């Protein structure tokens, strides 16, 4: 009897073990991977905050789930917004359909839980670019922080509506996740593995379960507005974990270079510094999708090429006492209510510009105050020259009567030098205001600075994609290679835009030379002051000029980040584009010294010059190996802070509207991500639950069974011995 | 501590101590007191100290209930009004929620 019971027990146990292995074949795929397709994309829209609002996107804490629906026609909008059975939806849009109106229609609907935009060309029938244009900025950009904010004639773009394609999408609290699909495998997964096989309506009927859905996560930590989130970040709290952080002020560094090295005890008279300026940043809805070709890059490259040309004749200016100094300024954070320029003006007023005199015994650069400025020439968008390749010079009508003696001659000289290289520069109509520009922040504080802003538009922007992810190099003819071009011919091919930029740089260099020395440049000088189109095309990645001019560690850090993010980002980080412009300006305006890498440092007693280490040209050694020769450049290039004074001034009233108050919300390590999965029917889900419960009860029974018969199952003795003696029975 | 092994007089002392300690803003002690001595006070056969123990248990129970009502009321009021109280509400918060007001 005893023996037969034990045999039974053993059989039952083996039976269970057999079932266990029969049910779970031995493979090593995690259940999670069987259920989800994870998308690569990290190009999510995120959240920024200012003194009064939160803008941008966020998801719920666990992500937003919605059935995928690909919008190909007007009927699909209808489907998502009212007809479809499987709401909430995640709308997938072609880039062409990603317009302000469509996006607003979608995100305001309760039935939409997320939006994806296909940020690449699928086939030739759809375009990447919406016909009506798309700019994520306002129609009247940065008006409230410009010089016309309180002017009854010019405020709110009364005279000229600068950015008619503006959707203000960047500045709306969208509240659901929006991402760009820039990776072909992602698009394939969403459309071909998800939407077409499972969701595409058949005969205008919703498909049966299972349907394919996306879980979109872009959870933001900061909320309400900058005032609240900074207060929360800075509060002293009793907490066992690390302090919670909610947001950080936006900011970076401005890059500046002066021509002369005038020391602090030297002589700098009023109106003796010519400033040429451009901005370093732009904005766009999606993280890491900042093309900014016309918005930022065209002018930036012009500035760099101008510097290279102009510094060939630096001695003429440096050695002439009566020649005016020339300062190149690159402003960061201009897309967020003029962070860089407003900080520079603030520093100039506070007398701490460009260097703070920390050490009494050292030599610093002479201060530059607002009164020292002789004129400002600013380059805005210069890439989209629609009207006969013409550029337009804008001036400020409010200050015109104070500077009416200088502006006409400035314009005249510029036009003259332009003509010599086939560049037309025309005047805009009298009485029209300045377009949104950094110079406005200077005019706001000192209304009698002669200012010319050069742009590619006469009135409203010729660029229909100003400050957006679609402001691409293709649209400004910067990539118009001949069809048969290979990598090496492309490397040397001077594109149409490069030629235009080079001509503008030549014009600028000659203009600045003339404005500084007040002399008619001789033919020899004119020949020197020609910008090299090669410089223009080789400034950007994978060209020698670029590779040689940066330190090795820099290459490592940016390789993963191309194209460069033109978003200003938070102030604790100096963005790659800022570092690159710094390095290139050091190369163009500095002098190579013989220092080694370890001695490539600023001496203690002279703080005027900076010393920049670059990895230099690739040289072949005697033994055939190659290495970088390493260069140390001494130059007058410098960084100045580009963090809004709002975060610097004690007890600043954030609501005063004087300075930019933009911050960026923090997000956690895994806060951004998208994955696809199938949603089964309610009945199927219920049956899974029931099976699970049955399993639970069965396993409880099994455990109970094992527990009762543990003496037999776990007996150490052999069957026979165990049966002869058992203390439990 | 196993009350079975404690003498009746000691039980009374213990119950009294818990009861008195509860007055120092320690309602949890009252709560424990009534659970711990509930059997002693109401279910055991009578013994001389029992009536006193019973009094302490009942008072502890009342105290604990009053406190619980107060705490629940406060939590409800706080959760409902935290946002509208603004900075004051924030100062009273120990763990701030992320991503919302």
> Which string of b and e fits A53-86 if b means at least 16 CB within 10 Å?
ebbbbbbeeebbbbbbbbbeeeebbebbbeebeb
H or E element at residue A513: helix A496-517
Higher pLDDT, A558 or B1: B1
pLDDT at residue A577 in the model: 86
The Cα–Cα gap between A281 and A575 comes to 10
The Cα–Cα gap between A387 and A681 comes to 59
The Cα–Cα gap between A279 and A110 comes to 39
Reference A54, options A230, A312, A255; nearest CA is A230
The residue in chain A having the minimum alpha-carbon distance to the alpha carbon of residue B90 is A232
Count the neighbouring beta carbons within 10 Å of the beta carbon of residue A38.
13
Whether the predicted pLDDT of A587 surpasses 70:
yes
pLDDT at residue A727 in the model: 53
Which among A220, A228, A239 is the nearest to B99, CB-wise?
Answer: A220
pLDDT at residue B93 in the model: 86
Q: Chain centroid to CA A654: how far?
A: 25
Q: What is the mean pLDDT of residues A266-286?
A: 93
DSSP-assigned letters across all residues of A115-178:
EEEE-S--STTS-SS-TT--BSS-SSTTGGGSTTTT-TTTGGGSS--S-TTB--GGGSB--S-E
Please confirm whether the linkage preceding A354 is cis (ω < 30° from 0). yes
* pLDDT tens track for A542-574: 445 555 555 555 554 455 455 678 899 898 888
Q: What is the ipTM of this complex?
A: 0.77
- Asked whether A273 and A323 are in contact (CB, 8 A), the reply is no
- Chain A residues whose beta carbon lies within 8 Å of the beta carbon of residue B91: 235
- Chain A residues whose beta carbon lies within 8 Å of the beta carbon of residue B90: 228, 231-232, 235
Q: By the CB < 8 Å criterion, does B84 face chain A?
A: no
DSSP secondary structure letter of residue A610: E
The answer to whether A219 contacts B99, with C-beta atoms less than 8 Å apart, is yes
pLDDT at residue A510 in the model: 94
Q: What is the mean pLDDT of residues A489-506?
A: 84
The answer to whether B101 contacts A224, with C-beta atoms less than 8 Å apart, is yes
DSSP-assigned letters across all residues of A592-608:
EE---TTT-S--TTB-S
Both tokens of A206, joined, read 């919703």
Q: By the CB < 8 Å criterion, does B101 face chain A?
A: yes
| Strand locations in A451-518 (E) | 451-455
> In percent, how much of chain A has pLDDT > 90?
58
Q: What is the mean pLDDT of residues A520-533?
A: 85
- Asked whether A59 and A216 are in contact (CB, 8 A), the reply is yes
- Chain B residues whose beta carbon lies within 8 Å of the beta carbon of residue A221: 98-99
- Asked whether A157 and A198 are in contact (CB, 8 A), the reply is no
Q: What is the mean pLDDT of residues B46-72?
A: 93
Model confidence at A729, pLDDT cuts 50, 70, 90, reads: very low
pLDDT at residue A389 in the model: 78
pLDDT at residue A631 in the model: 87
Please confirm whether the linkage preceding A88 is cis (ω < 30° from 0). yes
pLDDT at residue B2 in the model: 78
Please confirm whether the linkage preceding A140 is cis (ω < 30° from 0). no
Coil, strand or helix at A410: helix
Both tokens of A361, joined, read 């015994």
The residue in chain A having the minimum alpha-carbon distance to the alpha carbon of residue B95 is A239
Whether the predicted pLDDT of A538 surpasses 70:
no
The Cα–Cα gap between A121 and A399 comes to 47
The answer to whether B99 contacts A237, with C-beta atoms less than 8 Å apart, is no
Least confident range from A200-204, A216-220, A306-310, A533-537: namely A533-537
DSSP secondary structure letter of residue A294: I
Least confident range from A143-147, A302-306, A446-450, A595-599: namely A595-599
> In percent, how much of chain B has pLDDT > 70?
99
The answer to whether A232 contacts B101, with C-beta atoms less than 8 Å apart, is no
Q: What is the mean pLDDT of residues A455-460?
A: 92
The Cα–Cα gap between A546 and A577 comes to 12
Both tokens of A15, joined, read 């039976």
DSSP secondary structure letter of residue B40: I
Distance from CA of A647 to the nearest CA of B (A): 20
pLDDT at residue A546 in the model: 56
Q: What is the mean pLDDT of residues A451-460?
A: 93
pLDDT at residue A388 in the model: 62
Model confidence at A619, pLDDT cuts 50, 70, 90, reads: confident
The residue in chain B having the minimum alpha-carbon distance to the alpha carbon of residue A49 is B99
- Chain A residues whose beta carbon lies within 8 Å of the beta carbon of residue B101: 223-224, 228
The answer to whether B99 contacts A244, with C-beta atoms less than 8 Å apart, is no
pLDDT at residue A356 in the model: 87
pTM exceeds cut of 0.90: no
Whether the predicted pLDDT of A418 surpasses 90:
yes
Whether the predicted pLDDT of A719 surpasses 80:
no
- Asked whether A498 and A533 are in contact (CB, 8 A), the reply is yes
- Asked whether A225 and A644 are in contact (CB, 8 A), the reply is no
Both tokens of A694, joined, read 């049955």
Name the β-bridge partners of A611.
Answer: A634
- What are the φ/ψ torsions at residue A6 (nearest 5 degrees)? -65, -40
Task: Report helix, strand and coil shares of chain A as percent, to nearest 5.
Answer: 35, 20, 45
The residue in chain A having the minimum alpha-carbon distance to the alpha carbon of residue B89 is A232
- Asked whether A567 and A46 are in contact (CB, 8 A), the reply is no
- Chain B residues whose beta carbon lies within 8 Å of the beta carbon of residue A245: none
User: Chain A interface, mutation test: which of B86, B95, B96, B100, most A Cβ atoms within 10 Å?
Assistant: B96
pLDDT at residue A722 in the model: 47
Arithmetic mean of pLDDT over chain A: 87
pLDDT at residue A560 in the model: 45
Q: What is the mean pLDDT of residues A433-438?
A: 95
DSSP secondary structure letter of residue A156: G
- Chain A residues whose beta carbon lies within 8 Å of the beta carbon of residue B89: none
Whether the predicted pLDDT of A114 surpasses 50:
yes
Q: State the helix-helix crossing angle for B50-81 and B8-21, rounded to 10 degrees.
A: 30
The answer to whether A246 contacts B98, with C-beta atoms less than 8 Å apart, is yes
Whether the predicted pLDDT of A659 surpasses 90:
yes
Whether the predicted pLDDT of A582 surpasses 80:
yes
Model confidence at A281, pLDDT cuts 50, 70, 90, reads: very high
pLDDT at residue A548 in the model: 58
The answer to whether A223 contacts B96, with C-beta atoms less than 8 Å apart, is no
* pLDDT tens track for B14-55: 999 999 999 999 999 999 999 999 998 999 888 888 999 999
- Asked whether A607 and A355 are in contact (CB, 8 A), the reply is yes
- Chain A residues whose beta carbon lies within 8 Å of the beta carbon of residue B85: none
Both tokens of A538, joined, read 């080789």
- Chain B residues whose beta carbon lies within 8 Å of the beta carbon of residue A220: 98-99
The Cα–Cα gap between A41 and A32 comes to 19
Name the β-bridge partners of A218.
Answer: A672
């Amino acid at each position: 009897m005893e023996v037969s019971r034990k045999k039974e027990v053993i059989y039952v146990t083996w039976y269970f073990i057999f079932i266990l292995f029969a049910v779970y074949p031995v493979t090593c795929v995690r259940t999670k991977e069987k259920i989800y397709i994870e998308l690569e994309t990290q190009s999510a829209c995120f959240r920024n905050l200012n003194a009064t609002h939160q803008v941008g996107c966020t998801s719920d804490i666990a992500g937003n789930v919605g059935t995928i629906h690909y919008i190909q026609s007007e009927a699909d909008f209808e489907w998502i917004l009212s007809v479809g059975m499987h709401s909430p939806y995640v709308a997938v849009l072609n880039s062409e359909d990603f317009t302000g109106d469509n996006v607003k229609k979608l995100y305001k609907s309760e039935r939409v839980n997320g939006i994806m935009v296909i940020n690449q060309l699928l086939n030739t029938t759809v375009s990447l670019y919406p016909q009506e244009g798309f700019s994520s900025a306002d129609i009247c950009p940065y008006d409230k922080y410009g010089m016309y904010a309180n002017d009854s004639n010019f405020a709110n773009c009364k005279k000229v509506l600068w950015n008619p394609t503006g959707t203000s999408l960047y500045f709306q609290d969208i509240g659901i996740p929006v991402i760009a699909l820039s990776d072909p495998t992602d698009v394939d997964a969403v459309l071909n593995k998800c939407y077409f096989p499972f969701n595409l309506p058949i005969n205008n009927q919703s498909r049966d379960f299972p349907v394919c859905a996306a879980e979109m996560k872009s959870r933001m930590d900061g909320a309400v507005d900058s005032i609240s989130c900074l207060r929360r970040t800075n509060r002293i709290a009793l907490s066992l974990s690390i302090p919670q952080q909610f947001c950080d002020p936006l900011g970076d560094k401005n890059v500046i270079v002066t021509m002369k090295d005038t020391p602090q005890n030297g002589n700098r008279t009023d109106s003796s510094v010519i400033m040429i300026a451009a901005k370093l940043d732009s904005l766009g809805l999606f993280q890491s999708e900042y093309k900014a070709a016309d918005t930022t890059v065209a002018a930036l490259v012009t500035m760099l090429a101008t510097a290279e040309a102009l510094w060939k004749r630096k001695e003429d200016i440096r050695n002439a006492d009566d020649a005016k100094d020339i300062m190149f300024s690159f402003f960061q954070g201009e897309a967020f209510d003029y962070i860089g320029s407003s900080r520079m003006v603030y520093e100039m007023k506070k007398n701490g510009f460009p260097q703070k005199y920390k050490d009494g015994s050292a030599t610093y650069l002479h201060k530059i105050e607002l009164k020292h400025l002789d004129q400002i020439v600013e380059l805005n968008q210069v890439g989209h020259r629609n009207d006969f390749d013409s550029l337009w010079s804008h001036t400020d009508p409010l200050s015109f009567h104070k500077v009416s003696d200088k502006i006409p001659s400035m314009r005249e000289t510029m036009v003259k030098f332009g003509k010599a290289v086939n560049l037309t520069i025309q005047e805009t109509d009298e009485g029209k205001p300045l377009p949104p520009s950094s110079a406005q922040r200077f005019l706001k504080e000192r209304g009698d600075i002669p200012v010319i802003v050069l742009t590619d538009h006469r009135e409203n922007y010729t660029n229909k994609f100003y400050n957006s992810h679609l402001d691409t190099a293709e649209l400004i003819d910067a990539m118009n290679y001949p069809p048969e071009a290979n990598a090496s011919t492309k490397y040397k091919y001077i594109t149409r835009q490069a030629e235009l930029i080079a001509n503008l740089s030549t014009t600028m260099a000659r203009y600045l030379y003339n404005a500084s020395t007040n002399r008619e440049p001789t033919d020899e000088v004119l020949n020197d002051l020609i910008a090299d189109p090669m410089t223009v095309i080789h400034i950007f990645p994978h060209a020698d000029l670029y590779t040689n001019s940066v330190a090795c560690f820099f290459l490592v850090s940016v390789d993963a980040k191309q194209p460069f993010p033109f978003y200003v980002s938070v102030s604790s980080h100096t963005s790659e584009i800022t570092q690159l412009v710094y390095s290139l300006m050091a190369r163009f305006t500095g002098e190579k010294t013989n220092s080694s890498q370890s001695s490539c440092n600023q001496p203690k007693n002279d703080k005027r010059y900076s010393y920049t280490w670059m990895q230099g040209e690739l040289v072949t050694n005697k033994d055939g190996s190659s290495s970088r020769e390493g260069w140390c450049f001494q130059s007058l290039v410098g960084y100045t802070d580009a963090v809004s004074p709002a975060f610097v001034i004690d007890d600043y009233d954030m609501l005063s509207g004087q300075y930019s108050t933009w911050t960026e919300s923090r997000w956690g390590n895994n806060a951004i991500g998208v994955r696809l999965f199938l949603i089964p029917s309610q009945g199927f889900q219920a049956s899974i639950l029931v099976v699970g419960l049955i399993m639970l009860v069965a396993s409880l029974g099994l455990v109970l069974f094992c527990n009762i018969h543990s003496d037999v199952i776990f007996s150490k003795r052999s069957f026979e011995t165990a049966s002869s003696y058992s203390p439990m029975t | 501590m196993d009350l079975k092994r404690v003498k009746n007089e000691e039980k009374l002392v213990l119950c009294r101590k818990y009861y008195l300690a509860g007055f120092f803003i320690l309602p949890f002690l009252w709560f424990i007191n009534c659970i711990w001595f509930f059997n002693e006070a109401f279910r055991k056969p009578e013994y001389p100290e029992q009536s006193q123990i019973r009094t302490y248990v009942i008072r502890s129970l009342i105290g604990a209930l009053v406190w619980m009502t107060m705490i629940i009321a406060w939590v409800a009021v706080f959760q409902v009004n935290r946002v509208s109280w603004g900075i004051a509400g924030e100062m009273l918060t120990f763990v701030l929620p992320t991503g919302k007001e």
